[in-house]
Structure 1
């Protein structure tokens, strides 16, 4: 399924810390020209016309993971300007925190995108200094660290 990137998209995404607060759930996405080994992305998706961003993150998590979000809280708005296979993209991301219920398994967890594609879900370390794959949107990294420090 081809995505039209000719306009700015509005997204709602979730920082979902593991119970140990040392990891957070992300999708593992396939290689692109810019990221030949793939990349990680927060869980979430597009806000639909007439839908609030709060309702969008609740819907996306339910549709993609069959999960609910405990302690859902709005954090910030993050702008994400990027390229995928040379095509520019631009998103305004409404960022939330919360805990997934149920939490994804430690291995072999997946989510199903709206186009039917299945994407692995993995636990990325909060201290990701040794992680080889980039995380998108990149502007969320300070928020992840801040949340993990609030023990």
Structure 2
């Protein structure tokens, strides 16, 4: 499915920590011109017409993972201007934190996108200084650190 990137899209995404709040679930996406090794992206997706961003994140997680979200908390709205294979995109992302139930496996977990493609889920450390792959949406790492620190306390 081709995505029209000519307009600003509204998304809702989830910071989903593991039980120890030492890592969070992200998708591992295929290489692009900008990220030849691939990249990580928070779980979630587009807000549909007539749907709130809260409803969207709950729906997306259920559709893609078959999981519910517990302790859902709105953190922020972030703007993300990006390029995928040299095509510019622009999205406004409502960023949430919450626990997945059930949690994805520590290895071998996947989710199914709306176009039917299957994407691996990996656990990204909250301390990602050594992580070679970028995290998208851009600018969310500080929110990840803050959300996981709160969950540990």
Q: Distance in 1 between matches of 2:144 and 2:60?
A: 20
State yes or no: 1:84 paired with 2:69: no
Shift of 1:54: 0.4
Shift of 1:147: 1.5
Q: Distance in 2 between matches of 1:92 and 1:147?
A: 19
Q: Distance in 2 between matches of 1:70 and 1:51?
A: 19
Q: Distance in 1 between matches of 2:46 and 2:113?
A: 11
Q: Distance in 2 between matches of 1:26 and 1:15?
A: 8
**Number of the residue aligned with 1:148:** 148
Question: SS of 2:115's equivalent?
Answer: coil
Q: Distance in 1 between matches of 2:82 and 2:24?
A: 22
CA displacement 1:94-133 (0-9 Å, x = unmatched)? 0000000000000000000000000000000000000000
Q: Which runs of 5+ in 2 are unaligned?
A: none
Shift of 1:138: 1.8
Q: Distance in 1 between matches of 2:147 and 2:97?
A: 8
State yes or no: 1:45 paired with 2:81: no
Shift of 1:148: 1.9
Shift of 1:149: 1.8
Question: SS of 2:49's equivalent?
Answer: coil
TM-score under structure 2 normalisation? 0.97
Q: Distance in 1 between matches of 2:64 and 2:46?
A: 12
- Give the paired residue count: 151
Q: Distance in 2 between matches of 1:64 and 1:132?
A: 25
Question: After superposition, where does 1:1-12 map in structure 2 within 5 Å?
Answer: 1-12=1-12
Question: SS of 1:129's equivalent?
Answer: coil
